[in-house]
Amino acid sequence: MSELLAAAAARLGSPEHLVERSAIARAEADGVSPEEVLAAWAGGTAPPSGAPTPAAPSPPGDAPTPPAAPAPPAAPEAPEPGGAAAAPTPEMAATAVGSPPAPERVTLAQAHRFEAVITGATAGLTERVGASLPRWLTVLFFAVPLIGLTYLIAFAGGPNCGPGGQLSVDRLTGVVENCDGSVYEAGGGAGGVDVRALVGEGSTLYAAPSSCSSCHGASGEGGSGPELAGSVLDTFAMCTDHIEWVSLGTDGFLGTGLNTYGDLGTAVGSGGVMPSFSDTLTPEEIATVVFYERVVLGGQDVEEAVFDCGFAEPVEP
């Protein structure tokens, strides 16, 4: 068979393994042996089709008329260099590429059920007909939104706690927390000051009726009075100036001949009337609520504010 296969391959101008596969398929379809098909192809004639049919007896003296030889099969046309591949026709069988029990041949309508099929059996061309996302990309589609949602839940107000990015105070329990949610640990701080107690007391004074929050907002967002959150340090760089303004208010400043207040030179009375708290709060209470405004709302460093507002004296080296 190898000699017939080589001769047929040379005759058709195709690789031997492809010619062999084609001969076996043709033999199964016609009910003959592959050797007969190869012999016909090697000799340039068509292979016999089906079992031979006995010839009808001829009258005596008449020579039997030989059957007309069928035309030899046309050799497969080679694709033109650089040309586009011909579109498969409905008659073209497509061999499925996949794991068993995928069929050897499928129709064009069935081809889309498989990830890839061989659309040119003789040339061995493989065509992808299915589409699927890589597993890592699918995981990424679910992981990224989940990470973002977790971040929003954990840091609803941003990565820093408190309007100014420093300590946060629970209004109901009075618990002072760090930006990571842990309870602020007092003791051993700057100058030995109990900052937790200081911030807690300042929060109570700030939220008291007819006090700071009634004009400046519960979180220092502003109202009838100016905004404090994130901007109070721009107005009062020094805690002593801040304490003086809260103590004297609009009338006290005008009574002493001062027409502006703060580092920005804001005109007294331009932001509304600032009441004087020197009659309702002690100097220590005023310093405490100012400390709260500067640390929790303004974002000043805790240790810096302890010394700036006079709660401790720096230790000389």
Annotated domain spans of the chain:
168-308
Predicted pLDDT of residue 246: 95
- Quickly tell me which residue has 């040379």 as its tokens: 10
Predicted pLDDT of residue 51: 42
Task: Encode 143-180: b = buried (16+ Cβ within 10 Å), e = exposed.
Answer: eeeeeeeeeeeeeeeeeebbbbbbbbbeeeeeebbebe
Q: Model-level pTM greater than 0.85?
A: no
Residues 74-100, mean pLDDT to the nearest whole number: 44
Question: Amino acid identity, residue 104?
Answer: E
Q: How confident is the model at residue 34 (pLDDT cuts 50, 70, 90)?
A: confident
**Mean pLDDT taken over the chain:** 73
Predicted pLDDT of residue 61: 45
Least confident of 44-53, 101-110, 227-236, 261-270: 44-53
Joined together, the tokens standing for residue 160 give 């820093």
- In this structure, are residues 41 and 12 in contact, taking their beta carbons and an 8 Å threshold? yes
CATH fold of 168-308? Cytochrome Bc1 Complex; Chain D, domain 2 (1.10.760)
State which H helix or E strand residue 169 sits in: strand 168-169
Least confident of 97-111, 152-166, 188-202, 232-246: 152-166
Least confident of 92-106, 128-142, 250-264: 92-106
Distance of CA 49 to the CA centre of its chain: 63
pLDDT at 167 over 90: no
Joined together, the tokens standing for residue 302 give 């805790």
What does the pLDDT look like over 281-304, one tens digit per residue? 999 999 999 999 999 899 898 888
Question: Amino acid identity, residue 299?
Answer: G
